[in-house]
Structure 1
Amino acid sequence: MTTFILVHGAWHGGWCFDRVTALLRDAGHDVLAPDLPGMGGSEEELARVTLQGWADFVADLCRAASSQPVVLAGHSRGGIVISQAAEAAPEAVGALVYICAMMLPDGMSRASFRASEPANAAYDGFVSPTAGGHGSLITGEDPEKLFAQRSPPDAAAAAMSRLVAEPEGPRLTALSLSPGRWGSIPRTYVECTDDRVIPLASQRRMQALCPGTRRLTLAADHSPFLSRPHELAACLIASTPETRSAAPA
């Protein structure tokens, strides 16, 4: 039995993993899929959110898990959270899994990586600042065409209706990672070939920036928990330390 801790991406909540959580539990594993503190909060609450605060929150969950070390997985923006959490508590993390996620090296922020990438006009057209500027919102019609175009339409529309305000601070914060802590933990990157939010070329660039990461590939959109839940659950199970050590070279 493994404990999986699943960290959601921007604008989402732990609910996005519901189908994958059920599949992992049916396979005999423990699963936590928390909502990160401050999501959807007031301007004051959004302003108080920090990347380190989120990392400490997740690190504490890892330390308290019933079976250790855990498999810590992050989707999209959740990648920067699991990296910083693993740096804080490497002894409690047996494996890291980045699900079409921001896997960045030491000293880089989500914002600086994005600034170095080609413009993504489709993505930019759906993102608007909150009234006070301490967060962002997904606006516009049919965001599922960006986030979940390969997912079942009803599930995609329901998910888009649950998106909330995202704090701005974490994406502006540079990661502080070290080879002996974050760098010592086995990493798997689950790339999604039809992702319109973080295109495949960007996912591959991040893998090149963090050498030594194992790659798994899904024919999925940016919401593989909706479009490929069984396959995503299989990728997570394949990333456990026991499964990796048993796999043929």
Structure 2
Amino acid sequence: MNGLLRKVLRFGTMISAAALLSSALPGCGGGDTDGGAGGDGPQGSDKNTYVLVHGAFVGGWAWDKVVPLLEAGGNEVIALDLPAHGDDPTPLADAGLQVYTDAVVEAIDSASRPVVLVGHSMGGIVVSQAAEARPDKVKTLVYLTAFLMKDGQSLNEEWADDEGAEIKAYAVPSSDGTSLSFKEGWAADAFCQDCSPEDIAQLESHLREEPAKPFGEPIHVTEERWGSVPRVYIEALQDLAISPAEQKQQYTALPCERVISIDAGHAPFLTKPKEVADALRSL
């Protein structure tokens, strides 16, 4: 197993997920609001294995507030650094969508049971391809304010028409087009405008150049494999990186079992970790 894969498994006192009540929906045309009650699964007693896949410009550390909340219910949690992110030493030039997918598939294969596979933002394209590779090992696919796209689409194509994605004004491509970075103010003004000063400092301190190649690579998924896995979308109602309108367009275009709403910006794992954990524990 990749030595940088952070696999954490602890057991503790059961915590009630009393903050979320979500009803099953026939499709992705509506959402549950932030609040209510939930459990550790449909019967409230089953344990899950969660594989958490971060998005662009962050690493596995982004889930640090969510992981202990999930673990406290006796669940297994795997939060990994994608190649060329976090502490992973992969060179930018070697990072691509297939390399990302291989890392997530490795995490899925390491789990003791079918997983709840969660992707945030850019991580949405990665979890889609990982589910295509291992549909029998993915219990549920969760898109946390993430790119949910059809076969043949690329992230750049989907994002281009999102007029509400204010963070695009902060993205700066390198001179050779191989990477992206951010202008000053990106974290507080667009990525996480609802973050605390401490969270903003953490985002800025972890910032690395982002490989550009995966943004332009089309995903390849089929209805027979990826399409056979139940999907849930968690939308962020204040998002300035993937606008709420764009999120709705995506989860309306593709069938899902549920939509859950969290009143947060693009990084609810930092600003609303309990709501994120409650949503995941309710599945």
| The two structures share one fold, judged by TM-score above 0.5 | yes
Does the 8 Å contact 2:123/2:146 carry over to 1? yes
Are residues 1:182 and 2:226 paired? Answer: yes
Deviation at 1:237, TM superposition (A): 1.1
Deviation at 1:196, TM superposition (A): 0.7
State the Cα RMSD in Å: 1.9
Aligned counterpart for 2:150 among listed residues 73, 91, 105: 105
Once residues 162 and 116 of structure 1 are traced to their aligned partners in structure 2, the CA distance between those partners, rounded to angstroms, is: 29
Deviation at 1:40, TM superposition (A): 7.0
Deviation at 1:142, TM superposition (A): 5.3
Aligned counterpart for 1:82 among listed residues 127, 130, 144: 127
Once residues 196 and 163 of structure 2 are traced to their aligned partners in structure 1, the CA distance between those partners, rounded to angstroms, is: 29
Once residues 40 and 237 of structure 1 are traced to their aligned partners in structure 2, the CA distance between those partners, rounded to angstroms, is: 26
Does the 8 Å contact 1:127/1:138 carry over to 2? yes
Once residues 134 and 156 of structure 1 are traced to their aligned partners in structure 2, the CA distance between those partners, rounded to angstroms, is: 26
Does the 8 Å contact 1:11/1:138 carry over to 2? no
Partner of 2:67 in structure 1?
21
Once residues 279 and 119 of structure 2 are traced to their aligned partners in structure 1, the CA distance between those partners, rounded to angstroms, is: 13
Same amino acid, percent of matched pairs: 38
Indicate how the Cα distance of structure 1 residues 40 and 150 shifts in structure 2: closer, same or farther if over 3 A, else same: closer
Indicate how the Cα distance of structure 1 residues 40 and 3 shifts in structure 2: closer, same or farther if over 3 A, else same: closer
- Regions of 4+ moved over 4 Å: none
Task: Give secondary structure in 2 for the equivalent of 1:151.
Answer: coil
Q: Which runs of 5+ in 1 are unaligned?
A: 240-249
Indicate how the Cα distance of structure 1 residues 119 and 150 shifts in structure 2: closer, same or farther if over 3 A, else same: closer
Are residues 1:31 and 2:77 paired? Answer: yes
Partner of 1:55 in structure 2?
101
Once residues 164 and 145 of structure 2 are traced to their aligned partners in structure 1, the CA distance between those partners, rounded to angstroms, is: 18
Amino acid across the alignment from 1:228 = K
Once residues 97 and 70 of structure 1 are traced to their aligned partners in structure 2, the CA distance between those partners, rounded to angstroms, is: 11
Task: Give secondary structure in 2 for the equivalent of 1:207.
Answer: helix
Are residues 1:64 and 2:110 paired? Answer: yes
Deviation at 1:150, TM superposition (A): 1.6
Does the 8 Å contact 1:47/1:168 carry over to 2? no
TM-score (norm 1): 0.89
TM-score (norm 2): 0.79
How big is each residue's C-alpha offset from its partner over 1:152-198, in whole Å with a ceiling of 9 and x where there is no partner? 22123222321211111111111111111110111110000000111
Deviation at 1:61, TM superposition (A): 1.1
Does the 8 Å contact 2:162/2:242 carry over to 1? no
Deviation at 1:213, TM superposition (A): 4.1
Once residues 124 and 54 of structure 1 are traced to their aligned partners in structure 2, the CA distance between those partners, rounded to angstroms, is: 23
- Identify the structure with bigger relative contact order (alpha carbons < 8 Å, sequence gap 6+): 2
Task: Give secondary structure in 1 for the equivalent of 2:64.
Answer: helix
Deviation at 1:117, TM superposition (A): 3.2
Are residues 1:207 and 2:251 paired? Answer: yes
Partner of 2:32 in structure 1?
none
